[in-house]
Amino acid sequence: MAYIYPAPGVASAQMTLKIHHTSKVADATGLSVPALQDVTVNNANDVFTWTQLDSGSKQQIATTATNSIAMNLVLDQTVFFGSGSPSTTAATQGVFGLSKNKILVEFDLYMGDTDTGGAGKTINGRGYITGLAPTASADAPVWVSPITITVTGDYTVT
């Protein structure tokens, strides 16, 4: 058995997120999102339920899924606001610009190596960045924000 091992502090094994503006072809370098605090990959199948007169139990069948990736990150000014113009890449728009401008993004979430040192898996997909809510406080004197990528379509695993 090989457990998924995100290995914080181990550069070659750690979990990483890369975002591309609409197409990996047009935005080959993408935007590497640093300082992830936690990540949750959601795959919630909907279920259609009905009753029949000849059964004492409800019938159910799985339908389409709602997919999203939710995370919290410590904000980096350049990654959050972008590096400037032209605004046709993820790096120039930043996370805030991609969300504000409702840009369809492609993402690659590398989940980390296995505990035996083997290469890990990457979850890929397309979606929209939502749920930004930066906060700072006396107890957390850096800006931290939740971020959600609401996935359109299916995940792929590579």
113-151 pLDDT tens trace: 877 777 889 999 999 999 999 999 998 889 999 999 999
Asked if the model's pLDDT at residue 13 lies above 90, the reply is no
Q: What is the pLDDT of residue 74?
A: 92
Asked if the model's pLDDT at residue 1 lies above 70, the reply is no
| pLDDT band at residue 54 using 50, 70 and 90 as cut-offs | very high
Q: Name residues whose C-beta falls within 8 Å of residue 112's C-beta, 6 or more positions apart in sequence.
A: 4, 5, 6, 7, 13, 14, 15, 120
Q: Which domains does the chain have, with CATH numbers?
A: 4-157 (2.40.30)
Write phi, then psi, for 108 (nearest 5 degrees): -130, 115
Nearest Cα to 4, choosing from 16, 13, 149?
13
Nearest Cα to 103, choosing from 116, 113, 94?
94
pLDDT > 90 fraction of the chain, expressed in percent and rounded = 58
Asked if the model's pLDDT at residue 11 lies above 90, the reply is no
Question: Hey, is 135 helix, strand or coil?
Answer: strand
Nearest Cα to 51, choosing from 43, 60, 42?
60
Asked if the model's pLDDT at residue 50 lies above 90, the reply is yes
Asked if the model's pLDDT at residue 96 lies above 90, the reply is yes
- Give the CA distances from residue 1 to residues 5, 15, 60, 116, 158, in Å, rounded to whole numbers and listed in that order: 12, 20, 34, 9, 19
Q: What is the pTM of this model?
A: 0.85
45 in Cβ contact with 129 (< 8 Å): no
Q: What is the pLDDT of residue 86?
A: 67
As beta bridge partners, residue 122 has 110
Place of tokens 């997909």: 125
